Amino acid sequence: MAVADTLIGIFLEAVATRRRPDQFMRRTESGWESIGSERALEDVESLALALRELGVERGDRVVLLSETRYEWAVTDLAILGLGAVTVPIYPTLTAAQCRALLENCEPKVLVASTRAQLEKIRAASAGLPCVRTLVCIDPLPPGGSAAEHAMHALLTRGAALRKAEPGAFRASAQAVRPDDLATIIYTSGTTGEPKGAMLTHGNIASNVAASLQVMRFESSDRCLSFLPLCHIFERMGGFYSMLASGVSIAYARNMESVAADALEVRPSLVMGVPRFYEKVVARVLETAHAHPAPARALFFWGLGRGRAIARAHYAGRRPSLLAGWLARLAGALVLSRIRGRLGGRLRRCFSGSAPLSTEVMEFFYAIGIPIIEGYGLTETSPVICLNPSDREKPGTVGPPIPGVEVRIGDDGEILTRGPHVMRGYYRNESATREAIRDGWFHTGDIGHLDTDGYLVITDRLKDLLVLSAGKKVAPQPLEAKLKLCPWVGEAILLGDRRPYVVCLIVPDFVHLEAEAKARAWPIASRRELLERPDVRALYQAEIDHVNAERAPFEQIKRFALLDRELSQESGELTPTLKFKRRVITTNYAALIDSLYVGHSAPA
């Protein structure tokens, strides 16, 4: 399908050709509100003209600090239609973290979603001469300065400007070119300080067009959007791609309401990250285990029949007639009920941001909802590779999408080039030169292309653990395997320049405490629970299971259980909930050192 070559062009084309009465949906106090294409265009035009009156010009940076919601989309499109640059900031960042980004990008206008976010951005921008205006999406608190505006007031003012200058916005939008800078997105900083990736309209629009040659959507589809729109995965996949395909977009109230919202809006498409899908599987299995024995046995029988079909599909073979008949019976008796809890219409899910386990993919295929896994980075707009529908290969992220090149460097690093690669890092020429060499973007990931041209990612280049004996251990596959255990919330392997591998485990306290109650273990406190020998034995058994598949130098020799979850506040998690291995190593230095005291296991 033909896709416009600018992001604002994608939106205007969607309005002109689709005219959906439910282009966007949002939850209000009275229920779900449908917002048609024309109404959305009016909001975008009005806000854009009001921002123009406040001084926003081509090339100006406008910061958007907001949760995922309809107004996020409108604000982004209004900024882009002026030829200005959207700078999204994660709403979970602290004022100090926001300040560093503001100092780098020097925005003219700041847009915040709520009173709390407005207070944060006020503190972060105090004394910055570049900032002229603050806009609050929600009603303004009393006592604000004349430089602060409520979005509803701007929309009202913009509506008057639109009537006075009916062609002004269109003229501005049509002047936007593919090579114009569209956005600066700050990387989450798993391996260092955040850097502002500069993506043009052409970068992202080309990625939309190429991805839509692989993932096909229908005009009857509806996508439930809940991931952060400030992340390029949701923004390109769950926003621009949906607009280009004529798909309705419903915005979840928050991450906790996704299950309830899905029952109400009945989506057919979802963009998620592995942790989301892992939690869905864990919740379904937990519910199944709580059923009486006959119902529990029926559930696992049905799931087993579905898994058999999934394995046959992924192996590229046709299941037997009996297996197919049993799977259909299981679907009618058991698996359709699981789909019903997700709204009943969900037909396809997409996963990115981190590796997805084969077991999770099998589970979703078994219940009739295939997950399509892809791969990319902020700097690549983001998609590099994507599994094609009905030709997925678990354990891979698919072949490169059309127009994108991939090759493997001498050290195993994945390199890519094409129209999807960013212009560079904003005001950081040294980082740009390091990332883009001889025309190839260096991803920092390690992998290989299999015989079918599908990309297999094995680890992060900077995450490789180089043991003191020189052996190299890729931690991510072991961590992913451990996280399949219901009692493991997070697993962090360590051992760089050490004699052997150790592991810090963040327990899944919900499942662990439920297991403790079932076994009548006393739970005075989390720390006391984790110190019980029988609890440690649970985790040791899981580690032994993982170790059995590994060479001796790769095996986890010792482990420690943490009595709290990792957090963004402590700097241990990025806004996309990836853990920062270096920060964790610093925060738990004494505990990690204790795992090596008196031990010299061979590496």
CA 398/CA 214 separation, integer angstroms:
10
Q: For 340, how many CA atoms within 13 A lie in the half-sphere containing its CB?
A: 7
Give how far the C-alpha of residue 410 lies from the chain's centroid of Cα atoms, to the nearest Å.
30
Is the Cα torsion angle 212, 48, 159, 111 positive or negative in sign?
positive
Residue (of 602, 595, 488, 597) closest to 555 by Cα position: 602
List of residues 6+ apart from 193 with CB closer than 8 A = none
In this structure, are residues 49 and 145 in contact, taking their beta carbons and an 8 Å threshold?
no
What's the pLDDT at 92?
Answer: 85
What's the pLDDT at 600?
Answer: 52
In this structure, are residues 461 and 492 in contact, taking their beta carbons and an 8 Å threshold?
no
Is residue 382 reached through a cis peptide bond, with omega within 30 degrees of 0 on the bond before it? yes
CA 295/CA 298 separation, integer angstroms:
5
What does the angle CA 395 – CA 268 – CA 38 come to, to the nearest 5 degrees? 125
* Residue 387 DSSP code: P
CA 235/CA 88 separation, integer angstroms:
10
In this structure, are residues 473 and 496 in contact, taking their beta carbons and an 8 Å threshold?
no
CA 538/CA 521 separation, integer angstroms:
13
What's the pLDDT at 475?
Answer: 87
- Quick one: which H or E segment has residue 269? strand 269-272
Neighbours of 32 (CB within 10 A): 14
Scanning 18-126, the segments in alpha helix (DSSP H) are 37-53, 70-81, 95-105, 115-125
Distances, alpha carbon 50 to alpha carbons 9, 168, 182, in Å: 20, 12, 19
**Cross-strand pairs, 449:** 455
What's the pLDDT at 358?
Answer: 87
> 245 φ, ψ to 5°?
-100, 0
Q: Classify residue 212 as left (phi > 0), alpha (psi -120 to 50) or beta.
A: alpha
Sheet with 501-507, side-by-side order of all strands: 488-494, 501-507, 556-561
- Quick one: which H or E segment has residue 417? strand 413-417
Got the DSSP string for 351-383? Answer: E-SS---HHHHHHHHHTT--EEEEEE-GGGSSE
Could you give the 3-state DSSP secondary structure of residue 78?
helix
CA 45/CA 168 separation, integer angstroms:
9
What's the pLDDT at 38?
Answer: 97
> 142 φ, ψ to 5°?
-65, 155
List of residues 6+ apart from 399 with CB closer than 8 A = 385, 386, 388, 452, 453, 454, 455
CA 346/CA 329 separation, integer angstroms:
20
List of residues 6+ apart from 423 with CB closer than 8 A = 181, 198, 199, 200, 203
**Cross-strand pairs, 373:** 351
In this structure, are residues 375 and 389 in contact, taking their beta carbons and an 8 Å threshold?
no
In the structure encoding, which two tokens stand for residue 40, read together?
A: 């959305």
In this structure, are residues 198 and 422 in contact, taking their beta carbons and an 8 Å threshold?
yes
Distances, alpha carbon 458 to alpha carbons 405, 411, 427, 603, in Å: 19, 13, 32, 20
Residue (of 491, 506, 507) closest to 556 by Cα position: 491
Give how far the C-alpha of residue 116 lies from the chain's centroid of Cα atoms, to the nearest Å.
24
Neighbours of 66 (CB within 10 A): 24
Distances, alpha carbon 6 to alpha carbons 85, 379, 412, in Å: 13, 18, 34
**Cross-strand pairs, 441:** 416, 436
What's the pLDDT at 603?
Answer: 43
In this structure, are residues 464 and 473 in contact, taking their beta carbons and an 8 Å threshold?
yes
Determine the straight-line distance between the first and last CA of the chain, rounded to whole angstroms.
54
CA 432/CA 424 separation, integer angstroms:
5
In the structure encoding, which two tokens stand for residue 73, read together?
A: 């989309």
3-state helix, strand, coil in the chain (%, to 5): 40, 20, 35
Distances, alpha carbon 23 to alpha carbons 72, 87, 207, in Å: 14, 24, 22
Residue type, 511: H
What's the pLDDT at 31?
Answer: 95
* Residue 409 DSSP code: -
What's the pLDDT at 120?
Answer: 96
**Cross-strand pairs, 199:** 183
In this structure, are residues 270 and 217 in contact, taking their beta carbons and an 8 Å threshold?
no
Q: Find the length of the chain.
A: 603
In the structure encoding, which two tokens stand for residue 309, read together?
A: 């079909």
Residue type, 45: E
pTM: 0.84
Rounded to a whole number of angstroms, the CA Rg of the chain reads 25
What is the mean pLDDT for each group of 10 consecutive residues in the chain (603 residues)? 92 95 96 97 98 98 98 98 97 89 97 97 96 96 89 98 96 98 84 84 98 93 96 96 97 93 97 87 86 91 94 91 89 90 94 85 95 96 95 94 96 96 97 96 94 90 77 83 87 90 92 86 86 92 90 90 87 78 89 83 45
